[in-house]
């Protein structure tokens, strides 16, 4: 579709773009990225034929750009520049209709029926039909942008050049615009070459990306290759962390502000408050968490942690909605809170602090295991209900990998504790491998020393294994004791 070979060019005598080559295939969405002044707009203008190419060639559909007349070129390439200034009032319809100029012939250049069809269609597509009798001077930036997009699409181009198309748009229209363009690349075979400021947005939509720095190409590849921490640091001179998008296989770069939160306090045992109904923590600043809790599960950042006692025969309690309402009623914001449920008496829960080689962890365990008292209540299901909730608060900075390893380590330690305490899974008759309603939380302050690993080979892992094992054993024993007394 578009073949660019060793081009150089710019304004006056200075070359802004130098020795650049790439190929854009038909139906592709091709992103041009780079810091301010890297030559993005110049490159786009060279492709559009606005700035002459000093050396090298640009070929469009196999023919050099110069071989096209102005009108022929306008039937192939349409552009949406960054700013459209106009001194005079035109209506939206008149503006869009100008997009049919390359197809008009003769002295009066009347619009044909087909022209009007196309105008109608593109106005619907960009959602400006309602505005058609209004003057473009009276439109908002976003509306104007859509009108000029309609004008460009009215040219029925095979290649669309966009200079930061989402500049004046709110996220609703950003998404709508890019989704629609993407659709057109698929359905109409439209090729899009677009400048993006937002790396993450580009990553979501582009098939290929070109990273420019000082008029030269740094990398031309798919988003996954272009978005890597080293390259981005080299080009933009900022440190960003690569993350994958939660839903699609596209990477995203996360920036961290210079000022992170106020200095975090060290987390201590005293932060954990135990009542008859709840064990809860209100941390001074958010902790990074990984958990399997009812509320706030998965990765996240949370400040409040609630482990709530619910009677085993309470059918209402236990749903997520009910838990959220409970949190709200008790002054915990669900967005900031990890919420868990337990049938155990939470005052039996174990809260202990473990320290070794400067690493400190606070471990909180509540355990409820099946017992005779419950069995008599004829709800067969409840006979097997056990829930062991394990919380681990770490004063330290954990990598994502360490988080996962920490979870595994904790689970193994807990299983060992269950085995050693002779807890049998009454459903299968075998030794309980995993309690059915168990929840685990691993939270870290993300300050202080960095831990890459939390497996049993690492100091942190060893501490987790030891702490979780002993706390779990203690919690089970507390639980057993209660039923012994009751019985």
Of 8, 442, 422, give the one whose Cα is nearest residue 215.
Answer: 8
Q: Which residues bind another protein (CB under 8 A)?
A: 45, 48-50, 69-75, 77-79, 81, 84-91, 93-95, 98-99, 101-102, 104, 107-109, 116, 120, 129, 132-133, 137, 151-152, 155
Structure tokens at 352: 């202990």
Return the DSSP state at 487. Answer: -
Tell how far CA 369 is from the center of its chain: 39
| Residues 6+ positions from 309 with CB-CB distance below 8 Å | 276, 277, 278, 342, 343, 344, 345, 346
Residue closer to another protein by CB (options 59, 94) is: 94
DSSP string, 408-455: HHHHHHHHHHHHHTT-B-TTTSSBPSS-TT-EEEEEE---SSEES--S
Q: Give the shortest CB-141-to-another protein separation in angstroms.
A: 11
DSSP annotation of 123: H
Please identify, using beta-carbon distances, which residue of 77 and 364 lies nearer to another protein: 77
CB of 102 to another protein, least distance (A): 4
Cβ of residue 178: shortest distance to another protein, in angstroms?
Answer: 21
Nearer to another protein, 9 or 339 (CB): 9
| Nearer of residues 95 and 194 to another protein, judged by Cβ | 95
Which of 151/415 has CB closer to another protein? 151
**CA gap 197, 33 in Å, rounded:** 7
What does the CA dihedral 318, 324, 327, 331 come to, rounded to 10 degrees? -170
Secondary structure of residue 365 in the 3-state scheme:
strand
Minimum CB distance to another protein smaller for 194 or for 344: 194
Angle, vertex CA 317, rays to CA 316 and CA 320, nearest 5: 105
Token pair for residue 362? 């606070």
129/456 with CB nearer another protein: 129
Sheet holding 159-163, edge to edge: 77-80, 159-163, 191-195, 29-33, 208-213, 216-221
Give the helix, strand, coil percentages of the chain, each rounded to 5: 35, 30, 35
Q: For another protein, give the closer residue by CB, 96 or 473.
A: 96
Q: Which is nearer to another protein, 70 or 171 (CB)?
A: 70
Specify the pairing of strand 359-368 against strand 387-394: antiparallel
Q: Which residue's entry shows tokens 């937002």?
A: 198
Residues 6+ apart with CB under 8 A from 321: none
As to burial, measured by CB atoms within 10 angstroms (0-12 exposed, 13-18 middle, 19+ buried), residue 85 is: exposed
Q: Is 347 within 8 Å of 273 (Cβ atoms)?
A: no
Compute the least distance from the CB of residue 65 to another protein, in Å.
13
Q: Smallest gap, in angstroms, from Cβ of residue 97 to another protein?
A: 9
Cβ 50 to another protein shortest distance, Å: 6
| CA–CA separation, 463 and 440 (whole Å) | 16
Nearer CB in complex with another protein: 43/398: 43
Tell the smallest beta-carbon distance from residue 70 to another protein (Å).
4
Q: What is the C-alpha to C-alpha distance for residues 332 and 37, in angstroms, rounded to an integer? A: 48
Q: Looking at beta carbons only, is 81 or 448 nearer to another protein?
A: 81
> Residue 362 in contact with residue 267, Cβ under 8 Å?
yes
């Amino acid at each position: 579709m578009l073949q660019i070979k060793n081009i150089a060019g710019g304004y006056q005598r200075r070359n802004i773009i130098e020795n650049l080559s790439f190929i854009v295939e038909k139906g592709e969405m091709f992103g041009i990225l780079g810091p301010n002044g890297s030559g993005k707009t110049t490159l786009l203008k060279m492709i559009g034929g606005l700035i002459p190419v000093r050396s090298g060639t640009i070929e469009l559909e196999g023919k050099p750009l110069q071989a096209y007349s102005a009108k022929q070129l306008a039937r192939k390439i349409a552009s949406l520049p960054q700013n459209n200034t106009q001194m005079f009032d035109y209506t939206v319809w008149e503006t869009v209709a100008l997009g049919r100029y390359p197809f008009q012939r003769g002295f009066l250049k009347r619009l044909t029926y087909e022209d009007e069809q196309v105008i109608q269609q593109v106005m619907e597509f960009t959602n400006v039909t309602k505005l058609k009798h209004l003057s473009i001077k009276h439109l908002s930036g976003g509306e104007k942008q859509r009108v000029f997009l309609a004008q460009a699409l009215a040219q029925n181009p095979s290649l669309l050049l966009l200079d930061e198309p989402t500049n004046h748009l709110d996220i609703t229209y950003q998404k709508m615009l890019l989704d629609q363009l993407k659709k057109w690349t698929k359905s109409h075979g439209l090729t899009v070459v677009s400048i993006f400021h937002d790396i993450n947005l580009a990553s979501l939509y582009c098939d290929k990306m070109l990273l420019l720095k000082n008029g030269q190409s740094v990398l031309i590849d798919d988003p996954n290759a272009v978005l890597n921490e080293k390259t981005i640091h080299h080009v933009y001179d900022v440190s960003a962390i690569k993350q994958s998008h939660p839903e699609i296989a596209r990477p995203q770069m996360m920036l961290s502000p210079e000022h992170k939160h106020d200095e975090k306090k060290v987390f201590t045992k005293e932060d954990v408050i135990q009542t008859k109904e709840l064990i809860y923590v209100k941390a001074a600043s958010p902790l990074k968490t990984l958990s399997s809790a009812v509320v706030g599960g998965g990765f996240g950042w949370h400040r409040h942690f609630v482990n709530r006692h619910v009677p085993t025969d309470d059918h209402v309690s236990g749903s997520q909605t009910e838990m959220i309402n409970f949190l709200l009623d008790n002054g915990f914001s669900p967005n900031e809170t990890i919420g868990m449920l337990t049938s155990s008496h939470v005052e039996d829960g174990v809260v202990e602090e473990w320290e070794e080689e400067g690493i400190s962890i606070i471990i909180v365990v509540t355990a409820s295991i099946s017992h005779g008292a419950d069995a008599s209540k004829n709800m067969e299901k409840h006979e097997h209900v056990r829930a062991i909730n394990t919380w681990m608060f770490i004063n330290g900075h954990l990598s994502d990998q360490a988080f996962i390893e920490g979870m595994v380590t904790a689970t193994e330690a807990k299983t060992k504790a269950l085995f050693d305490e002779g807890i049998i899974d009454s459903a299968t008759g075998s030794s309980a491998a995993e309690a059915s309603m168990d929840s685990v939380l691993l939270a870290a302050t993300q300050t202080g020393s960095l831990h890459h690993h939390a497996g049993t080979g690492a100091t942190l892992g060893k501490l987790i294994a030891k702490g979780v094992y002993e706390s779990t054993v203690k919690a089970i024993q507390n639980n057993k004791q209660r039923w012994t007394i009751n019985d």
